């Protein structure tokens, strides 16, 4: 064997040794190499690849050290949505969950795949022909961020699958930071004067979203698989539990605590068993997850909104910690809701330093009788939102006469932001500021909601800029955003700097005149605002911030009416005829659009060039595409995919996100990917953009 061949053979041997070591450590929990041996082999491989670049391989274990910073994360649209789970906190809720499944499937004792609910960051790994090609965060479930480079640094994420891998395999799972690794990292950070991590969950999320993958490589992250996304080229096992075993065989780590349980009693026994060993687990969990094991039963149960009806997360009681109330304040939200909260002596709750906790509403304050100076028990509800659970009354400060030192708290009768009256509707637990768009607090939150990703999606227009625009009276309604210029944003920044004593005013002005002030950020903001002028009706309806009108209701309204003017003209009775809209929501929609100032804002939006496709009610029951399922993939030059989908739905089609044998046809634009390939594989009819436009023209669209 020649020298070159021997070198190549040694490189392959080292890669095999290191890959096998990772598999045995993370999947089999049966390590064969000591850390020192692993590091020695890795350094040898790095040296050989450095000296022989012709032997480079993107899937080599050496690629885990991280690459240069990308500067930003690209968007990734999930081929199969990453759904959230409904939560259960009581045993009765679990029993009801099982009873519903038993009734609808006809299986009196259904089996469930059960697993710990890891407290980390949900991600999706995509493998093509066994090679790791992309990793993405969950994001909003439909679209996440491309963190492939960072995930390559996580040793428990295999870069190449073992055995016979399918053509396409998307694996969903959790990136987490083991407890021991978290403590070890913080000890190192303290010794080197670096910032410590607040808790393992934040450590995992923050580490994976580092723009520099080399930083991620320094963080002790791990991964467990728990579900599938898009899969091509393989027949899956009939159950979820057997699928998890198959993933193990492919080299993907799966929690050793995964099991199968039968019926409600089996689920609750598993919940108690994991709860007893919760503190001894190597990772943080906030509950356990129950998934109906048989895939045919999962399909029968289906989904509701963003969650499957066949799975549920059973949460453990949150950790509780005592602290002292220093003051009671209120926050005014975008709908005018006045929410009381306490400022308290900083305290660690579940590994997070907490200084504020919600009191929810006036009824909660009255029930708890929380006062300044009280010792209170704080809980992170769902291990996330801090809240006051109860008052330790025997520790309440008293005056010389033995009476409480501080009076009972009363919710303010006037808005602390705008001075308008605070009122509470009959049968409502929440008090609200009556200032509406006149209240700057509501204005800031209304603008922030309007600009958010799921609404008008104005990239870069965050709360800091919006607060400044409102504070300087440059924007009074959402329509005013479309009047802003680059000069307006530069002036806003200059005023903010002056207030902060950051830069003398004359210095800023001179730089502006000489053209030296960086304005690219302002140009990008104006461009983003301009890009949002073209949108969809459902986004506008959601962006307006109508109380109780979320994305789902906005979509329902858009599809039912097809245009905005019929919604403006609809009374409560008309709105109640819309599917899934009850009397309360109908009343709130009618009230919102009856207000003159809201109509003025809508008119101003239209006058400022904001527009969206309008027409007849969508998804006609007797349209030419009634009963047909259409999939859109790739980019269209003449319209957005949302616009194309709306036009097809108006003709009766159901627009789906995935291709199957039931798909009637696929519209393939530029850079169409796996969906086009799957359509061709299944023999599904494919239309190009020209054919789509011709068809729409024939239909008068």
Distances (CA, A) of 531 to 133, 459, 536, 671: 31, 10, 12, 22
439 labeled binding residue? yes
Q: What share of the chain is helix, strand, coil (3-state, %, to 5)?
A: 40, 20, 35
Close Cβ partners of 259 (under 8 Å, ≥ 6 residues apart)? 113, 114, 115, 270
Of 540, 534, 537, the closest CA to residue 558 belongs to 537
369 labeled binding residue? no
138 labeled binding residue? yes
DSSP 636-700: -SSS-HHHHHHHHHHTTPEEESS--TT--EEEE-BT--HHHHHHHHHT-EEE-HHHHHHHHHHTT
Mapping DSSP onto H, E and C, the string for 327-377 reads: EEEEEECCCCEEEEEEEEEEEEECCEEEEEEECCCHHHHHHHCCCCCCEEE
Rg for the chain (alpha carbons), in Å?
Answer: 29
- Pairing status of strand 143-145 against strand 131-137: unpaired
Residues 686, 665 contacting (CB under 8 angstroms): yes
530 labeled binding residue? no
156 labeled binding residue? no
38 labeled binding residue? yes
Of 330, 327, 328, the closest CA to residue 415 belongs to 330
37 labeled binding residue? yes
Catalytic residue among 72, 117, 401, 678: 117
286 labeled binding residue? no
Residues 538, 555 contacting (CB under 8 angstroms): yes
85 labeled binding residue? yes
Distances (CA, A) of 188 to 180, 182, 199, 218, 603: 12, 10, 15, 11, 59
Residues 133, 165 contacting (CB under 8 angstroms): no
60 labeled binding residue? no
Distances (CA, A) of 39 to 36, 42, 563: 5, 5, 64
425 labeled binding residue? no
Q: Which residue carries 């011709």 as its tokens? A: 694
Query: How far apart are alpha carbons 614 and 650 in whole angstroms?
Result: 10
Q: Encoding tokens for residue 462? A: 């965050």
Residue 77 known to be catalytic: no
468 labeled binding residue? no
Of 458, 457, 456, 475, the closest CA to residue 466 belongs to 475
316 labeled binding residue? no
Close Cβ partners of 169 (under 8 Å, ≥ 6 residues apart)? 126, 127, 128, 161, 228, 231, 232, 234, 250
115 labeled binding residue? yes
174 labeled binding residue? yes
Of 501, 621, 606, the closest CA to residue 544 belongs to 606
Query: Which residues participate in the annotated binding site for NAD(+)?
Result: 35-39, 84-85, 115, 138, 174, 291, 315
* Residues with catalytic function: 117
Q: Which residues are annotated as a binding site for Zn(2+)?
A: 415, 418, 439
Could you list the residues known to form a binding site, using ranges.
35-39, 84-85, 115, 138, 174, 291, 315, 415, 418, 439
């Amino acid at each position: 064997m020649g020298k070159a061949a021997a070198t190549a053979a040694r490189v392959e041997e080292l890669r095999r040794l290191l890959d096998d070591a990772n598999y045995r450590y993370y999947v089999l929990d049966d390590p064969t190499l000591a850390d020192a041996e692993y590091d020695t082999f890795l350094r040898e491989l790095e040296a050989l690849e450095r000296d022989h670049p012709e032997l480079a391989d993107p899937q080599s274990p050496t690629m885990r050290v991280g690459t240069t910073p990308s500067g930003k994360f690209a968007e990734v649209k999930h081929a199969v949505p990453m759904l959230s789970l409904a939560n259960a906190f009581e045993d009765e809720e679990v029993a009801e969950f099982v009873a519903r499944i038993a009734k609808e499937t006809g299986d009196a004792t259904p089996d469930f795949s059960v697993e710990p609910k890891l407290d980390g960051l949900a991600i999706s790994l995509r493998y093509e022909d066994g090679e790791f090609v992309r990793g993405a965060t969950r994001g909003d479930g439909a679209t996440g961020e491309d963190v492939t480079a960072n995930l390559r640094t996580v040793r428990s994420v295999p870069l190449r699958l073992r055995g016979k891998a399918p053509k396409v395999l998307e694996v969903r799972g959790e990136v987490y930071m083991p407890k021991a690794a978290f403590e070890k990292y913080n000890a190192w950070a303290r010794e080197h004067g670096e910032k410590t991590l607040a808790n393992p969950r934040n450590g995992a999320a923050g580490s994976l979203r580092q723009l520099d993958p080399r930083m991620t490589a320094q963080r002790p992250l791990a991964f467990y698989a728990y579900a599938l996304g898009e899969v091509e080229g393989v027949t899956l096992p009939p159950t979820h539990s057997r699928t998890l075993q198959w993933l193990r065989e492919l080299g993907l780590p799966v929690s050793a605590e995964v099991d199968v349980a039968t019926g409600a009693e089996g689920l609750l026994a598993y919940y108690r068993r994991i709860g007893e060993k919760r503190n001894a687990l190597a990772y943080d969990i906030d509950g356990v997850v129950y998934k109906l094991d048989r895939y045919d039963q999962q399909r029968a149960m289906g989904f509701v909104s963003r969650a499957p009806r066949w799975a549920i997360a059973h949460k453990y009681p949150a950790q509780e910690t005592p602290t002292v109330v220093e003051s009671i304040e209120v926050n005014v939200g975008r709908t005018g809701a006045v929410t009381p909260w306490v400022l308290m002596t900083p305290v660690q709750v579940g590994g997070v330093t907490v200084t504020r906790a919600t009191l929810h509403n006036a009824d909660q304050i009255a029930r708890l009788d929380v006062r300044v100076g009280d010792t209170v028990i704080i809980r992170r509800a769902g291990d996330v939102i801090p809240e006051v659970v109860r008052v330790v009354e025997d520790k309440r400060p008293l005056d010389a006469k033995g009476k409480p030192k501080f009076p009972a708290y009363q919710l303010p009768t006037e808005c602390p932001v705008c001075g308008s009256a605070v009122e509470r509707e009959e049968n409502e637990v929440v008090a609200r500021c009556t200032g509406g768009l006149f209240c700057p607090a509501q204005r800031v939150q209304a603008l922030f909601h309007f600009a958010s990703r799921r609404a008008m999606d104005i990239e870069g227009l965050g709360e800091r800029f919006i607060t400044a625009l409102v504070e300087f009276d440059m924007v009074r309604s959402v329509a005013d955003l479309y009047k802003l210029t680059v000069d307006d944003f530069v002036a806003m920044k200059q005023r903010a700097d002056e207030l902060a004593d950051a830069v003398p005013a004359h210095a800023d002005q001179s730089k502006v005149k000489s053209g030296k002030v960086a304005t690219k950020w302002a140009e990008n903001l104006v461009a983003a605002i301009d890009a949002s002028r073209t949108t969809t009706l459902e986004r506008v309806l959601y962006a307006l911030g109508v109380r109780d009108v979320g994305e789902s209701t906005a979509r329902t309204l858009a599809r039912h009416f097809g245009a905005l003017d019929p919604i403006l003209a609809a009374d409560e009775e008309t709105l109640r005829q819309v599917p899934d809209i009850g009397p309360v929501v109908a009343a709130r929609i009618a009230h919102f659009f009856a207000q003159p100032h809201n109509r003025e804002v809508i008119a101003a939006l239209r006058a400022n060039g904001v527009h969206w496709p309008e027409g007849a009610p969508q998804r006609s029951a007797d349209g030419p595409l009634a009963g047909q399922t259409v999939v859109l993939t790739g980019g269209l030059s003449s319209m957005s995919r949302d616009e194309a989908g709306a036009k097809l739905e108006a003709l009766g089609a159901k627009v789906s996100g995935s291709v199957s044998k039931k798909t009637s046809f696929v519209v393939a634009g530029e850079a169409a990917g796996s969906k086009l390939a799957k359509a061709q594989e299944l023999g599904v009819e494919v239309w190009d953009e020209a054919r789509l436009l011709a068809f729409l023209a024939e239909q008068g669209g």
